[in-house]
Amino acid sequence: MFNLARYFSILSLILIGLAAGLLGLLYREVSVHQMTSLAEDRNVALAQVLKNVLGAPLNGLMAASVGQDASMLQESDESQAMQRGVKALMGGTAVVKIKIYNRLGVTIFSTDPSQVGESSLANPGFKAALGGQVVSDLTRRDTLDTFEGVRSGIDLLATYIPIAGDAKAIEGVLELYQDVSPFMASLQRMLWIVTTVVAAVFALLYLMQLLVVRRAQGILHDQAERIEAARSTLEIQVDARTTELRRSNRQLEDEVAERRQAESKLNYLAYHDPLTGLANRRYFLERLEASLSDAVAKEGRVAVLFIDLDQFKQVNDSLGHGVGDELLVSVSAALCEHVRLIDMIARLGGDEFICVMEAVRSEDEVAMLAQEVIAAFDAPFRIGGHDLFLTASVGISIFPNDGTSVGELLRNADTAMYRAKALGRGHYHFYTPEMTRDAQERIQIEMLLRRALDSSELSVHLQPQVEARSGRLVGAEALVRWESPELGNVPPARFIPLAEDSGIIIALGTWALRETCRQVMRWQASGFELPQVSVNLSVKQLERPEFVGTLLEILDETGIEPGRLKLEITESVVMAVDDAFSLLDRLRRIGISLALDDFGTGYSSLSYLKMLPVQQLKIDRSFVVGIGTNPEDEAIIRSVMALAQSLDFEVVAEGVETAEQAAFLSESGCHQLQGFLHGSAVAPAEFRARWASLPR
């Protein structure tokens, strides 16, 4: 039998519960919205009061925040003044905490000093405020550090408020935390009261309707079964359809939100560097192309500045890629903060940055911009407890004089940057056509030199080293010579520096070492024995971890005794190679002789000289040439002789060209002489022809 009263009771109770719940939720949402709006307006008003009262220390703090670490910000006069002013101004109000961020998202002030220096660059509220919007967020905290100490179980309304400067530009973001716990507690109590009243009213209506239904049930008794079946079927269908629609709507909304988020992220990543947030290569190229088109239409000029960090590789290698990435972020911030005239700045990759200056009026204006770029690196970068000092080299090309296309301008700015590096760290240079010719020549020489290593164009010449007193041959220095079919006789001063820069010096040095040892052993097999041969080493050879292994292979392959091989290194090489002392000690224990070349022209530090396992000092020819004409050079030579005697070093003098020089050196105690007086560097056949017949 259809029991109308029972089903009415169940349905009515469900509807009453749903209605009471929905009304309660609606009342809560409306109340929370009103409270949030009022509290947000109050936060904005308090922020304005804060800026009006504490404008001077606030502006000073914003200006002083650039390039300072957390401790410096906390201890600054502006921060201390802000702490005192904020506590005095906000004491007794609902505001319990205040934070201030600069444009880079760094917390430069907080009533909780431990938070100074933290980054909120990815915070959605910070991003929205940086765009000019006022954003609020209602949260509940279990604990919170406030003006009056740690508080527990507190409801907060955090409001992000943009800080505008004199030019109406957003310079930072102010975040105010307002305690809304009393209102939330009151709201909760009122919600229970409203819900109870609504439920009571609905219950009364339910009882009245129940009486009517019970009376009507008698009238509808004969239709109970049919109505029961129809209502049951209808309820099942309605519930199923409602559930299906809700599920479909949720899925559709989730898909739309995910798609929009993915599209936004992809669009950002397509045009920005994910590490620094600067424009990436793609965005830069598109922007430069548009700038050039605009310059053509207006007959204007555009400057491209190619920026390369001079010491970034050393930082990356020594401190790790994590510190390197943080350093790149700091460099990006410094460039954006210090360089005011840049129309656009981008990161091309690695430690290379590039910027565009539109509407160029004069080269002086571009030079001023380059100086500002270099000045951005005057202060050290504080990364991971390290004060890192960097410099930058800047190359400049200007449209249309230095190129009419994006590719030409980039290539020429890059070329000018390398010329700036050649001048030393922290320089800039404008592009000139001669640079392209020099670069093309370097490329040609490098290509031909690589080919020469695989052909017979290179040869080893030897210059004799004789005993100072007797003139007896005691050794020779091996020097590489290059006879190119295209370039003719290429001087070492022209191709050795290029080989150093390009890395070819490693293969070239290995070839010269192997060929020299082979020549000495060929002579020995034919009856001519050279007591000792010297070979120069590059810093890049010593930096290779496999150098000692390669040297041992050459000794084993050629059969030369280690004591007959002398390796010459310069003072600058010793200072450039990590753990040079242990490396040289390994060579000495093998039996290799070591000589310090160009002594007196480099560091000449006695603190490391006494520790070096070398046997010879080579006096540079720049001192020898002054014998007889420059008393200062003679005094230096005598001092070197005295030093060598006290440290038990042999001394070899280079560049000896006259008998007067030889006599002075011999009288001063020099052991060996090398120079044109006893012979220039010649091919092995000529060397043997001259010295094989002389007594040794």
Burial letters for 78-102: b for 16+ Cβ neighbours within 10 Å, e otherwise?
bbebbbebbeebbeeebbbbbbbbb
> Could you tell me the two tokens for 46?
């308090």
Q: How far apart are CA 77 and CA 61, in angstroms?
A: 8
Q: How far apart are CA 90 and CA 50, in angstroms?
A: 9
Amino acid at 509: G
Contact 479, 463 (CB under 8 A): yes
680 — pLDDT class (breaks 50, 70, 90): very high
C-alpha distances in Å from residue 161, one per residue of 40, 172, 194: 10, 9, 35
**Residue-level pLDDT at 515:** 95
Asked if pLDDT for residue 4 goes beyond 70, the answer is no
> Could you tell me the two tokens for 626?
């002054």
593 — pLDDT class (breaks 50, 70, 90): very high
Q: Are residues 110 and 131 in the same domain?
A: yes
Q: Are residues 176 and 242 in the same domain?
A: no
Q: Are residues 160 and 261 in the same domain?
A: no
In a domain, 150, yes or no: yes
Q: How far apart are CA 681 and CA 686, in angstroms?
A: 10
Q: Are residues 633 and 529 in the same domain?
A: yes
Q: How far apart are CA 105 and CA 119, in angstroms?
A: 5
Phi, psi for 652 (deg, rounded to 5)? -115, 130
548 — pLDDT class (breaks 50, 70, 90): very high
Q: Coil, strand, or helix at residue 544?
A: coil
Q: How far apart are CA 134 and CA 288, in angstroms?
A: 35
Phi, psi for 303 (deg, rounded to 5)? -110, 140
Angle at 361 between CA 358 and CA 362, to 5 degrees: 115
695 — pLDDT class (breaks 50, 70, 90): low
Q: Are residues 566 and 477 in the same domain?
A: yes
In 3D, which of 596, 600, 674, 677 has the Cα closest to residue 635? 600
Ranking 70-79, 354-363, 413-422, 490-499 by mean pLDDT, the lowest is 70-79
- Strands (E) located in 558-633: 565-570, 593-599, 616-619
pLDDT in tens, 185-235: 888 888 788 878 877 887 788 788 778 777 777 776 666 577 777 777 878
**Residue-level pLDDT at 167:** 67
Q: Are residues 609 and 495 in the same domain?
A: yes
In a domain, 235, yes or no: yes
Q: Find residue 381's DSSP bridge partners.
A: 388
Asked if pLDDT for residue 573 goes beyond 80, the answer is no
Number of domains in the chain: 4
Amino acid at 381: F
- Residue whose structure tokens are 């310059």: 295
Which range marks the domain in which residue 605 is found? 442-691
Q: Are residues 393 and 500 in the same domain?
A: no
Amino acid at 576: A
Amino acid at 8: F
> Could you tell me the two tokens for 39?
């509290």
Asked if pLDDT for residue 662 goes beyond 80, the answer is yes
Q: Find residue 465's DSSP bridge partners.
A: 475
In a domain, 581, yes or no: yes
In a domain, 205, yes or no: no
Q: Find residue 587's DSSP bridge partners.
A: none
Q: Which residues contact residue 30 at a Cβ distance below 8 angstroms, ignoring those fewer than 6 apart? A: none
Phi, psi for 629 (deg, rounded to 5)? -125, -25
Q: What is the mean pLDDT of the chain?
A: 84
Asked if pLDDT for residue 284 goes beyond 80, the answer is yes
Amino acid at 637: I
Q: Are residues 423 and 472 in the same domain?
A: no
pLDDT in tens, 612-621: 788 899 998 9
Q: Are residues 168 and 51 in the same domain?
A: yes
C-alpha distances in Å from residue 105, one per residue of 171, 174, 556: 11, 11, 62
In a domain, 154, yes or no: yes
Longest dimension (CA), the chain: 146
Amino acid at 216: A
Q: Are residues 231 and 315 in the same domain?
A: no
398 — pLDDT class (breaks 50, 70, 90): very high
Average pLDDT over residues 630-659: 91
Last residue of a domain, one of 186, 211, 243: 186
104 — pLDDT class (breaks 50, 70, 90): confident
Contact 329, 276 (CB under 8 A): yes
605 — pLDDT class (breaks 50, 70, 90): low
Task: Please report, for the domain that includes residue 289, its CATH number.
Answer: 3.30.70.270
Last residue of a domain, one of 186, 210, 244: 186
In a domain, 585, yes or no: yes
For the beta carbon of residue 583, count every other beta carbon within 10 angstroms: 18
Task: Please report, for the domain that includes residue 114, its CATH number.
Answer: 3.30.450.20
Q: Are residues 250 and 356 in the same domain?
A: no
In a domain, 206, yes or no: no
Pairing mode of beta strands 473-484, 428-430 = unpaired
Asked if pLDDT for residue 664 goes beyond 70, the answer is yes
In 3D, which of 575, 632, 630 has the Cα closest to residue 598? 575
**Residue 675 φ/ψ region, left for φ over 0, alpha for ψ in the -120 to 50 degree band, beta for the rest:** left
Q: What percent of the chain has pLDDT over 70?
A: 91
Average pLDDT over residues 77-106: 79
Q: Are residues 409 and 460 in the same domain?
A: no
Q: Coil, strand, or helix at residue 443?
A: helix
In a domain, 345, yes or no: yes
Q: Which residues contact residue 408 at a Cβ distance below 8 angstroms, ignoring those fewer than 6 apart? A: 397, 402
Task: Please report, for the domain that includes residue 687, its CATH number.
Answer: 3.20.20.450
Last residue of a domain, one of 390, 407, 431: 431
- Residue whose structure tokens are 């890395």: 503
Asked if pLDDT for residue 598 goes beyond 70, the answer is yes
In 3D, which of 236, 233, 231 has the Cα closest to residue 4? 231
